[in-house]
Structure 1
Amino acid sequence: MSTTDSTGLAGSPPFLSKQAILAKPGFSRWMVPPAALAVHLCIGQAYAFSVFNGPLTKVIGITQSAPGDWSLTTLGWIFSLAIFFLGLSAAFAGKWLEHVGPRRTMLTAACCFGGGFLISALGVWLHQIVLLYLGYGVIGGIGLGLGYVSPVSTLIRWFPDRRGMATGMAIMGFGGGAMIAAPLSVALMNHFKSATSVGVAETFVVLGIAYFISMTIGALAIRVPPVDWKPEGWVPPDTAHKMITRNHVHIDRALKTPQFYLVWLVLFLNVTAGIGILGQASVMIQESFKNTVTPAAAAGFVGLLSLFNMGGRFVWASSSDKLGRKNTYYVFFVLGALLYYFVPSFATSGNIALFVLSYCVILSMYGGGFSTVPAYLADLFGTAFVGGIHGRLLTAWAAAGIAGPVLVNYIRAYEVAHGVAKADAYTMTVHIMTVLLVVGFVCNLLVKRVDAQHHMSDAQLAAER
């Protein structure tokens, strides 16, 4: 006999319905963050994809690039497509997520992300770049988007007293996933490497299966709170002098406010300034310090960036509960611009320590920008539809996923083609990043409270729920 879940679709298993994951009395909200991390630690692997770039340029030659092997600029589009479809799927899935709940969304993400690895493995075996674009870039990117937004609005509702900390917990796993994935991927490639294989395809198969299992566990463990649930004894603070609303704005209405587009630009500029560097981190440090940094050490650098990316997501978002979201972004833009301006001189002088430290701080703020923005949106638009609004805002990430790597990869290629040493080829790029962060500062400055005309009435809110 068929069953019907909350979406009205016949034949759906009961455990996928939104009602099936409604928390019962006595459920501890602290059980939800581990479920979120089970998903985000997996999809955070995207930040470690650069460790595959070197081996993927030698699939035919094995020990060195041969005629017919893929170039770095060709491979760079895999990461860009993944981030683009992350933002695109998150935007279109926002309303769907609010209707069906996080469990169904997280299970769909597990299928897409795990399956994307398997298709990419086939692409490596057949040496068909289009299968890597389709597998990891498109299908895997959809898995990234669905997995990314699924737990965020759920955690915000579980932690109305600590929105920044809640989003930090949800999103820090995405930043930290590379800390596990980078060394694990290198170890797996070394294990599978042979005279006829660089070990990438086999590594993709193992990772795809492992990530599917972990994400499925997270989906089965997730729970949502009852409508208007509040922590015991918690009283909403006075927000008269803070840019925090107690009202709610519908997803579609949010797109008619200037605040949405200003925050969109804030996220876009912050992400563009970091994501291109992150996507080529392994190659960048090896070229900046030629004959000094080995591939293994470069993988360690990627892992270290991941650690700061993850830690920054929790620390900066938690700090925003005290500093305020707007002030936190001021710090990101001012400090980030200064570090980007001076980092080329650290590379030129051969100061690896300051070079690494600068990028670690930059990546902590890059990650902090991601984890702070959902709370920023909840402050501006309320919590009722923050998951959907957040999903649509992630189109900024999709756009930055194209713009950032293109700036880094193609400007670098242009500079090298015109005689600039590889070690100096990133200077122009990071100075452009400095300008982008200054523009971001101005956009953040212009963000104000949402006008009351956009707020939903109690009757409208009840009808939507």
Structure 2
Amino acid sequence: MSVLSPSEHGFFSKERITARPGFNRWMIPPAALAVHLCIGQAYAFSVFNKPMTQLLGITKSAPGDWSLASLGWIFSLAITFLGLSAAFAGKWLEDVGPRKAMFTAACCFGGGFLIGAIGISLHQLWLVYLGYGIIGGIGLGIGYVSPVSTLIKWFPDKRGMATGMAIMGFGGGAFIASPLSVALMNHFHTATSVGVAQTFIFLGVVYFISMNIGAFAIRIPAPGWKPEGWTPPATQNAMITKNHVHIDQALKTPQFWLVWWALCLNVTGGIGVIGQASVMIQESFKGAVTPAAAAGFVGLLSLFNMLGRFFWSSASDYVGRKNTYYIFLALGAVLYFLVPGMGAAGNVALFVLFYVIIISMYGGGFSTVPAYLADLFGTRYVGGIHGRLLTAWAAGGIFGPVLVNYIRQYQVAHGVPASQAYTDTMHIMAVLLIIGFICNFFVRPVASHHHMSSEELAMDIQPAMATK
């Protein structure tokens, strides 16, 4: 008689979280959101920067206080380790299942805040780097990819919409975290404390609890499950495979790298704009846009970043993932080319409109790509493949700000008025998106020799058994 080993039927095992017949699949998106709304706090980390330059001086920076430049590395480390952990933990995630991965993410992200709080209390910046930057960043990466493959398996009929709902949460987490963090710092502020350490402790505990609610609520469908009344389309879309590609084999396909570059180039443009949005609109319309109006522009971009994640990924269920990326890259290139002219003409309304559309497609690129990967590589390892593809995010996060900042700096240093300093940059962005469009054009169905055989798939899916 064969029996499961204790590790295979424990609280975190796939067997334990396999849904019973009649389970409502609409319980899964809220479980994913419970994680993504928490880790989306990363986009709001900048609210801590100024208070953390006044930990000693309280009302203003004092000798010995940390500089903004040194604090900037906290967020950079977090995003770097988000990409690294998503890439390297992907295969482990597929093996152990979403509950253990989401619990691990909760421990890392919540624990990162607590370690960071100790570093702030002791005024040891390296502890904040270690806590929020490294350990918290690992929690970000694991938490980001944990629900993706589960959502895709529960919603084979609405892959884009399902992943869009969760990844929208990552974009929207900052809307909760930013005002909450400011309110908490004001609440904990005293004559001897700016309230950052206490806020870190509060957020660490709350995020740990919330993420674990998602981890404990998550379920995976039983093998062979499909939505009631749904059958795969009789005419199979050539771009949607019925087969599966192993995570290690996916990296050997041209499709992976073509999609990698398409995402990277889409991210490069969007993240470059996000990083300089306030300065860019003020310099493009010198004297016509106040700092307060520029802050409103940044908020509007954040809103469309979030909404675009749901809108575009849902639309991809109807128009197809490849066609959706065509829109991102073609329309984006046109808008980047036209934006400088709107600045020169003094047309603030069209300038803002073009940028909110660009940023909606930036967010849409993130939420559509998991379903794109599932279409190409199957669902078995899509979470891990998605994690490895997110290295494109890390690369775009470097390319975008470097292009925007350094080209502008070079232009201004050579006598170009600040209002015109972004023209060449935006034209370069347009060219990059055209290159991305070409990459997307060459994406074809994955060749059959990359597919897992039925025997390999059966051995891979079946839990290890011990013979008694």
Please say whether Structure 1 and Structure 2 have the same fold, judged by a TM-score greater than 0.5.
Answer: yes
One of 311, 316, 321 as aligned partner of 1:315: 311
CA distance in structure 1 between the partners assigned to 2:52 and 2:140 by the alignment: 22
| Other-structure match for 2:133 | 137
| Other-structure match for 2:27 | 31
Equivalent position SS for 2:138: helix
| Other-structure match for 2:218 | 222
CA distance in structure 1 between the partners assigned to 2:208 and 2:39 by the alignment: 10
CA distance in structure 1 between the partners assigned to 2:193 and 2:414 by the alignment: 34
Instruction: Report if the CA contact (8 A) 1:50-1:279 is conserved.
Output: no
Question: Any idea what the Cα deviations from partners look like across 1:252-286, whole Å, max 9, x if unmatched?
Answer: 11111100111111111111222243345566667
One of 101, 111, 118 as aligned partner of 1:115: 111
Change in Cα spacing, 1:133 to 1:317, as seen in structure 2 (3 Å) is same
CA distance in structure 1 between the partners assigned to 2:42 and 2:157 by the alignment: 31
Instruction: Report if the CA contact (8 A) 2:271-2:397 is conserved.
Output: yes
Query: Is the counterpart of residue 172 in structure 1 residue 163 in structure 2?
Result: no
Unaligned runs of at least 5 residues, structure 2: 462-468
Instruction: Report if the CA contact (8 A) 2:238-2:445 is conserved.
Output: no
* Further displaced range: 240-249 or 368-377: 240-249
Unaligned runs of at least 5 residues, structure 1: 8-13
CA distance in structure 2 between the partners assigned to 1:260 and 1:345 by the alignment: 36
* Further displaced range: 394-403 or 189-198: 189-198
Q: 1:32-51, aligned counterparts within 5 Å?
A: 32-51=28-47
Report the TM-score, using the length of structure 1 for normalisation: 0.87
CA distance in structure 1 between the partners assigned to 2:452 and 2:327 by the alignment: 33
| Other-structure match for 1:367 | 363
Equivalent position SS for 1:49: helix
Q: 1:187-336, aligned counterparts within 5 Å?
A: 187-193=183-189, 197-279=193-275, 281=277, 293-294=290-291, 301-336=297-332
CA distance in structure 1 between the partners assigned to 2:187 and 2:349 by the alignment: 31
RMSD: 3.0
Change in Cα spacing, 1:131 to 1:99, as seen in structure 2 (3 Å) is same
Question: Any idea what the Cα deviations from partners look like across 1:79-101, whole Å, max 9, x if unmatched?
Answer: 33222211211111111111111
How many matched pairs? 456
- Whichever residue aligns with residue 381 of structure 1, its letter is F
CA distance in structure 1 between the partners assigned to 2:403 and 2:352 by the alignment: 21
C-alpha deviation, 1:16, in angstroms: 1.8
CA distance in structure 2 between the partners assigned to 1:273 and 1:203 by the alignment: 33
One of 427, 442, 445 as aligned partner of 1:446: 442
Equivalent position SS for 1:211: helix
CA distance in structure 1 between the partners assigned to 2:369 and 2:89 by the alignment: 18
- Whichever residue aligns with residue 98 of structure 1, its letter is E
Instruction: Report if the CA contact (8 A) 2:187-2:195 is conserved.
Output: yes
Quote the sequence identity (%).
Answer: 73
CA distance in structure 2 between the partners assigned to 1:286 and 1:189 by the alignment: 29
Change in Cα spacing, 1:343 to 1:81, as seen in structure 2 (3 Å) is farther
CA distance in structure 2 between the partners assigned to 1:307 and 1:16 by the alignment: 36
| Other-structure match for 2:7 | 5
Change in Cα spacing, 1:460 to 1:164, as seen in structure 2 (3 Å) is same
One of 82, 85, 105 as aligned partner of 1:86: 82
Instruction: Report if the CA contact (8 A) 1:337-1:437 is conserved.
Output: yes
Q: 1:428-443, aligned counterparts within 5 Å?
A: 428-443=424-439
Instruction: Report if the CA contact (8 A) 1:337-1:438 is conserved.
Output: yes
One of 380, 390, 413 as aligned partner of 1:384: 380
| Other-structure match for 1:10 | none
| Other-structure match for 2:460 | 464
CA distance in structure 2 between the partners assigned to 1:120 and 1:431 by the alignment: 41
C-alpha deviation, 1:403, in angstroms: 3.0
- Whichever residue aligns with residue 162 of structure 2, its letter is A
Question: Any idea what the Cα deviations from partners look like across 1:368-399, whole Å, max 9, x if unmatched?
Answer: 11111111111111111111111111121222
